[in-house]
Each structure stands twice: as C-alpha cells, then as structure tokens.
Structure 1
Amino acid sequence: MLWACVLLPQLALDGVLRRRPPSEEPLVLVSGPAQQRIVHAASRSARAAGLYRGQSLAAAQAMLHRFAMVDYDASDEAGWHRLLAAWAYRYSGEVGLLTHAVVLEVSRSLGLFGPWPRFESLLREDLAGLGFRHRIALAPTPQAAYVLAGAHDGMAVTTPPTLRSALAPVAVAHARLPDGAAHALSSMGIRTLGQLLAMPRAGLQRRFGADLVLQLDRLVGEQPSSMESFRPSDAFELRMEWAHEIEHVEALMFPLRRLTGDLSAYLAGRDGGVQRFEVVLEHRNMPATRVPVGMLAAARDAALLFDCARGRLERVALPQPVVAMQLLAPDLPPFVPAGRDLFDARLANAMPLDQLRERLRSRLGEHAVQRLHRTVDPRPERAQTSSPHVAKAPWPETRLRPAWLLESPLPLRGPPPEILAGPERIETGWWDGGDMRRDYYVVRTAQGQCAWAYCPPGKQGAWMLHGWFA
C-alpha cells in the first residue's frame, strides 16, 4: 500500500483568509482567555512584521500598531478539515483524518490518475485552487507519510526497505510521538528516529510504555494502522461570517463564489451532484433571507453552480445588511455526466448547453426558458407545446417541419412557388369540430425563401403560408 499525506500547517488561518478578498493587510488569529489573549496564527505580512504564534496580544499590538484580528474557532477549523477530507475522497476510497492532515491510500488510484508525480501535481493544483497551503509526502504507511510531510515536502518513499533510511534523519521532536516522549528522549541523547528505531523495543516499553512502541511499529509498517476511514456526509452545509456588514448584493459575489466552489469540490469527492440548494443571508436584527436555487438536472460544475446562484441572488432586494452567508444542500442526488462527442467540434470558448440554459433561467426567471415537445394531435397548430420542466425525449417522427411555424396561416403572395417536396395530406380534427383537409408542400418562393405552404386537397393554387424553414 502507498499513502499520501496532505499536511495543512495553517488550516485555520487559510480558512479565514479564503473568505476575504486578497490583501496585504496583516491578519492574526487570536485565542485564549480575555486577559491572556495570544496570537494563534499570523499571516505572512504579519510574520514579516515580527508577529509569531504564541506571542501575547499585548506584545503584538506594541510591535505592530495596526492589524486585523479574528477569533480562532476550533469548530470552524474542523469544518475545513472535513471539507478537505471529502475533497480527497475524489482520489481515493480510503481517506483518514490526522491532526492538521488528510491521508489517502493511493496505490489503487495511480492507474487512474497516472504515476505519482502527475498525481501529486493534481493534488497540489486542486489545493491551490481551494486556497489551502499544504505539504505532501508519500510513504508505505499513513503515519510515515504524516511524519515525512512535516520534515520534507515532496518526499516520496515507495518501498518498505527504503522507509527506515528515509525516516532515520528525522528529529524525534518532529516524529509525532506520544506526549512527553520526544522531550524525554532528547534528554537521553536520542535526537533522531534512526537512533530511536535502533534501540531495543523491550527497554523502550519498560521506560516509556507500550504506546511509544506501538507508534513506532505502525510508523514502519510492522503493525496495522488504527485510523478510522472517513466517509463524506450525504448533505452539505457551509457558513461564512465576516466582521463587517455587506449592504450591496454585488459584494456578496466573492463569498458566494467560494461557497459554490467548495460545494463543487465536495460533490466531486463523493461523485454526486446537486439539483436544489439554498443560499441563506443572515442579518443582525431580523430573520434571514432565504434564496432557493433549483436546476433542471443534477450538476456539480463550480461555474454552473455559481452562475445559477448569482442569477437568483442578483434579483434579491436586501432588507438589511448581511453579516453571514450559508449554503445548504440537504439532498445530493447521483450525478450523470452529459455525453460528449469523441471529436467535439465546438469552439474552445463555447458554453455548454446545460450551463447556458441554467444561466438564462437564473437571469430571466424559472419559466423564461421553455422546451418544445410533441403532442398527439396531428394538426400543425396543436402538434407541439412548451414546458419548462419536460425531460428530454426523442421526437416520435421525422417528417419535415419548419423551424418557424406561423401563429395562423397567411396568403402566399407573388408568383407561384417552386414545389420542392409534397404533397403531404393532413386530414383530421373531425372529433372536436376543428376538422381540416389540407395538402402541404415544401416550396421555394420567388425571393428564394424555403417555405411550408398548403392548398386545398387535389389543387395547386390559392397558396396559404404556414411556416418558414431556416
């Protein structure tokens, strides 16, 4: 087996930064009791100004006069952690959660996604798009991949015999050992994992207990891992909150794009789609504004989800400024990708039909886009109708019909037309008093237009125009 570890060294900070537009303003997460606030994490610009993790808030404020502060929220961090685990489920059916890390078994996925260098680049590209900094390593055990990701970003160990030599130079302080063990080992002169692995296990167990020995056995693959497999939930719920108030719908597009992008990543991980979801806008002093979003078919493309939600949100009049936004998708149906031709002749920048349809519906209204379908009535005026929610189905016949059918027939003026096809006799309607007897022809007019016209049965003259061919 081969395990990839995605280490997330600044998960909580990245979760906050991705909610905010790009900015060089220093930002810190703060935690601790009210009288002993400390810096939990600092952005790059804040670290460049001298702020660091564990620093007291008073000292940070004395060093840097102006910076943004956000309270550290452990539940928020756990939510991002689960989101990334659901994303990793896209690449492997066996995913586990470790502290600030996601591990996934990839030996069975390499045949699908390519050799490890290509697989690794796919992981990094996705994580960069989601806005999370990361370190990645590959090893035969999840614990070894976890340790190596912290020590050497990009390291790949593919065979058990080379695992011990790769782990040997890692400092015991960075080996994810049980609490207190690293300090005690360092005081004994044991600085590296190579030295620790060479020590007799019986002596280690007497001195440090069974937990340390079991951890080392799992590290090198001599004992199976006890890690629980992660399974994505059958519903999606994500919330974004900000300290300021947003008064205009246009300013909500940035968080909306993030939320729909996260929903798309979640759906790709569980190989599902979404047909209905809800955007909830929270206000300070009144009930939330709820914006339902529905599509004609299950989808998971990030651009399509954003377009549908944006079109509906742009038509909302905000009763009060917005302080938080939620995206709720309680029902996640299976997703069936649309069929594509092997040699697709569409232009590179052409928009897929499903995306164009949903964009028009969100901008113009639920019933603005209709689909034509046939009826059982053979009369041309009643042979088709329209509906916004008709499933795709083949037309029951292939007789030639014009793309533009006139609402009512008109006399065809001018010289007699040239007959191209026909006649096709339509004799029907006797059961409801709307009986008709007509001979239809495909004709070309003197101006070169291709038309659909009819005459009385058995005669050619007194032409009536009923439609135009494109």
Structure 2
Amino acid sequence: MHHWIGVHLPRLPIESFCPTWYMPVSDNGFVVLEKGRVLDADAAARSQGVVDGMRRGGVLTLAPNADLRERELTREEQTVRGVAFALLQFTPNVVIADENVVLADVTASLRLFGGLRALRRRVRRTVADVGVTSTASIAPTAEATWLIARAGGGVALTQRSLSRVLKRIPLGVLPAARRFAEWFDGLGCATIGDVTRLPRAGLKKRCGTALLDALDRAKGEAPEVHEWLTMPPAFDARVELPDRIEYVEATLFAARRLTLQMTGWLAARQLAVARFVVSLEHERGRDAIPPTDVEVALGEPTWHEEHLVRLLKERLSRIELAAERVFIGPQGKGSPGLSRCNRKNARKERDPLTTASHAQLGVWANGLSPFEHQRVGLPSSEGFGQSCASRSGCGCSGGSVGREAPGVPSASCTCWSTRAWRY
C-alpha cells in the first residue's frame, strides 16, 4: 500500500507577503485584495472589523492605515515551489497539485525517517520553517490525500478508515462537483458520502465521467497519473523580505527558508555542498551599494540543513549592516566546479555524495577527489570534446570532460550528475 503526505497552504495569499516569522513594526494591519475585495487579512486588520469579501472602500474606512496589496500569483507560485523543494529531502516523488497543495509519495521513506507519523511531524516542522501555515494529511492515494488536506487535514492509513474519512468531506471540496453544487443542494447532498449513495448510472448521465473518475481515484479504484517535480540543473532562489531590516540577524529566517530549499535540491540530486554564498541585496536607488555576500565554507561536504543553518547563523552574527536589506538570495562566487567527494568524508551509511556548484547556485563546491585536489570545469563551447566514456570508462554516451581534469566525468555526464534515490 502506498502512503502519501499532503500539505495544504490555506493562508498562502497573505503569507506570500508576510511569512509567519515576520513581526510587523506597526499594528495597522495587512490586507490582500483580489478584484477589489478582501481575500485575506491579518489579525490586526480583522480586529478593526475587516472581513473577507469586503470592498476596498470599506477597508479604508475601518482601517485607513492598513497596508493594502493586490494578490500576486507569482509570489504564491514561488512559495509553493519553495515548499515542494524543501520536501524533496524526504522523498524524490513530489507533486505540486492544484489549489496550493503539495503531495509527496513517502512509501519508500518510512523506514529511513522512523515511521509515517514521525515523518509527518518532520514535514509539518519543515513547512513551518519555510514560513507558511499548513494542514497535513495522510492517505493511500494522492487524490484522497489532496481532498483530506483541503478539508482541514487528517489521517487515513487503511481502506476502511479512508472510506470513513472521505464520507465526511464537504462536497464543495471536490472540484468536479462544484459546477453541480445547486443540483446536489436540491437533492440534500452535502458530503461526498451523500453523493456515493446516489445511483452511479444517474450520476454519470447528469454529471459526466469526471466526478466518478475523481471518486474512483480517491478510493484507489482507478489509476492516477502524476507530473513529478523535476530538478533544475542548478539551484537558484531569491526571497524578498517583507520590510526593511536594520539588523543582519533578522535575515536568518529568510536565509533558513533558502537553506531548506537548497537541502531539498541537494538530497534529490544526491549532492553535498562544500561552500555556499548568501547574497544580501541593499535597497536600490541613487545611493545603492553592491550586495553583501556572506560566504560559508565547510570542512567537509554536507547536505544537512541543521548544520548549514548553524554555520550561517554564526557568519551572520559577525556582519554589520551598511544599509537596509530588501532582498536575500544565493549568489555564486568564483569559478563553477564539480568534484567528487572523498569516501571518508561522506556518510558511512550512504553512497559517497557529489559536491556540485553553479554560478547561479550560490553554492560553490571545492571538494576533494579520491586522489587529489582538482576542479572539473563545467561544459562550455570551448575546450571540451572528448567523450566521458573514452577517458573515465563510466559507460555514458554523451558526457564531455574538461581539459583541466582528465579522467573525471563532467556535469553533463548522466551517469554522474543524476543518480537513483537510495536509502
């Protein structure tokens, strides 16, 4: 039986602007509007009488000093994608579903992380560290996991409990049933359990096959097709701070969000990092100054988020801000490189990892090869052309090796840079 964990972000419109770790400097309130009406508001705005659906004029009357923002779907997509990247440290099978839900197939990860419930706690803690509110669910199918997460969360570990949980889910949660809401309301159907008691032939004639197919997928009686999250060749992420800051320690929360995403990317690609740089960008304008780079070098390559965050915190505590920061993001320093880790420096229980870097990654690896210190140049239009198979004997067909380091596969070697997920 498969096990899926689903994470729904119910307050994504406002938390894409103001993460949970953000402490506003005033109590004027923050409101997100969509088409001139309130979509979501924080506690300060709601204490002044702002409610969902209120027009802009009503908000300005009740809370004249509130910060009003239009909904930005791009910000929301970036936040959801950041959550999905963070979950890659638990499983490579992650799906970004509709309506701000991220699904993860953790069937092969249970033993590694101490069981399903322990893994669920770690997932919720990771999502909270990203800075968003979430509701989590567990179910044997992806469709059921999505429905349970959208309905407020819950656990269904067996088919019997799954059937019981699905029957209590409000019918409006199921997208295929929303267009027939008035018809179902006339029949007295308020939950999915009420719909399943109706004649199947009549439902098919009245509502088509989409509704029945969704119910069959949720119960595991029909196959599911997923579009898995694919990993880019280089990690590139950027976080806009919700407000100006005066102390560099305040950037740690945003930096930790980037670190979570980076460790998920590293885990999914079976890589480790030996050096990374976090770039703090100052406010633009006439008196703009260059970004401040915070470089962290490790004694040996690692992919553990706790260790990376601890080192980053130590480095940030030694820096004094020259001007207010507005953005925070990774930025690479030096030449990009790829090298293989020494087996002694890698974790004993797992295969030797690979340290990787890219100019856009913000992580510049300068690790150890099994024999000597060397850097392998990434493929470019000059200086490459000899096949990887002819020099390293790895057996791939399309790799190329730089002249700087003969005998070591390049980043384009598929047998080197993309490896199967192992436990």
Fold shared per TM-score above 0.5: yes
Deviations 1:199-243 (CA, angstroms, capped at 9, x unpaired): 233322221222222212212111122231113433122131446
SS for the counterpart of 2:181 is helix
Query: Matched residue pairs, number?
Result: 335
1:6 partner letter: V
What is the match of residue 12 of structure 2?
11
Among 307, 312, 317, the residue aligned to 1:305: 312
Q: Give runs of aligned pairs for residues 131-170 of structure 1, distance below 5 A.
A: 131-153=131-153, 155-170=154-169
2:216 partner letter: D
SS for the counterpart of 2:17 is helix
What is the match of residue 91 of structure 1?
90
What is the match of residue 229 of structure 1?
228
**Cα distance in 2, alignment partners of residues 44 and 137 from structure 1:** 26
**Percent identity of equivalent pairs:** 20
Change in CA separation of 1:38 and 1:122 when aligned onto 2, cut-off 3 Å: same
Which ranges in structure 1 are unaligned for 5 or more consecutive residues?
342-388, 395-470
Per the normalisation by structure 1, the TM-score is 0.62
SS for the counterpart of 2:247 is helix
Change in CA separation of 1:237 and 1:131 when aligned onto 2, cut-off 3 Å: closer
Counterpart contact for 1:95–1:229, Cα < 8 Å: yes
Change in CA separation of 1:165 and 1:49 when aligned onto 2, cut-off 3 Å: same
Deviations 1:341-369 (CA, angstroms, capped at 9, x unpaired): 9xxxxxxxxxxxxxxxxxxxxxxxxxxxx
Q: Give runs of aligned pairs for residues 393-404 of structure 1, distance below 5 A.
A: none
Change in CA separation of 1:90 and 1:189 when aligned onto 2, cut-off 3 Å: same
What is the match of residue 28 of structure 1?
30
What's the CA shift for 1:268?
2.4
2:42 partner letter: S
Per the normalisation by structure 2, the TM-score is 0.69
Q: Alignment RMSD, CA only?
A: 3.4
What's the CA shift for 1:20?
6.7
**Cα distance in 2, alignment partners of residues 327 and 253 from structure 1:** 17
Counterpart contact for 1:28–1:69, Cα < 8 Å: yes
**Cα distance in 1, alignment partners of residues 289 and 337 from structure 2:** 23
What is the match of residue 266 of structure 1?
261
What is the match of residue 283 of structure 1?
283
**Cα distance in 2, alignment partners of residues 93 and 335 from structure 1:** 22
What's the CA shift for 1:285?
2.1
**Cα distance in 1, alignment partners of residues 196 and 337 from structure 2:** 48
**Cα distance in 1, alignment partners of residues 370 and 145 from structure 2:** 51
Task: Using CA pairs under 8 Å that are at least 6 residues apart, name the structure with larger relative contact order, 1 or 2.
Answer: 2
Change in CA separation of 1:317 and 1:19 when aligned onto 2, cut-off 3 Å: farther
Counterpart contact for 1:141–1:219, Cα < 8 Å: yes
Structure that is richer in strand per residue: 1
Counterpart contact for 1:280–1:288, Cα < 8 Å: no
What's the CA shift for 1:127?
2.6
Change in CA separation of 1:339 and 1:216 when aligned onto 2, cut-off 3 Å: closer
Which ranges in structure 2 are unaligned for 5 or more consecutive residues?
349-365, 372-423
Counterpart contact for 2:31–2:66, Cα < 8 Å: no
SS for the counterpart of 1:112 is coil
Matched, 1:78 2:77: yes
2:140 partner letter: P
Counterpart contact for 1:26–1:44, Cα < 8 Å: no
Rg: which structure is higher?
1
What is the match of residue 254 of structure 1?
250
What is the match of residue 239 of structure 2?
239
